[in-house]
Amino acid sequence: MTYTFTLIPILLILNLGIFNHSPFSEYDQNECLVKTSSEWGSNCSACMNSKGSYRVNLRNECGTNLDVVVAVKEKTNRWRTFRVNNLAPGDSVSAYACDGAGKYTFWTRNAGDNKTMLPTDEEIQIEMSEKK
């Protein structure tokens, strides 16, 4: 019985998030953005020919706003990038490549976190071309 009374206050403190390093309050922001769908050949007003387009849709599944960069690969090996600041929980971002290769990647951070740098378009092109 003694353990029950001492364990309950500890669990309540952890659950309330009083300790910043509680395992209940930490998560990887990259796990927050979840692919909900993708499609080939969807109508895209920004593309001259939508027949080869590739679109990916991602949703913020966490309870915090995110800043997001999504990159979608073109068959030319260039990466088309999309930036969304302050993506709210439950909101989605759609990204596309006009002549898509069917690949995408993304980077996230907590909204407004200027200490965590998101890559520039140039850095994305360099980093992703090295990975091929």
Q: Please, what are the domains in the chain?
A: 1-27 (no CATH), 32-131 (2.60.40)
pLDDT (tens digit per residue) in 52-63: 999 999 999 999
Better pLDDT: 58 or 13: 58
Confidence of residue 28 (pLDDT cuts 50, 70, 90): low
pLDDT in tens, 69-121: 999 999 999 999 999 999 999 999 999 999 999 999 999 999 999 899 999 99
Residue among 118, 95, 104 at smallest CA distance from 47? 95
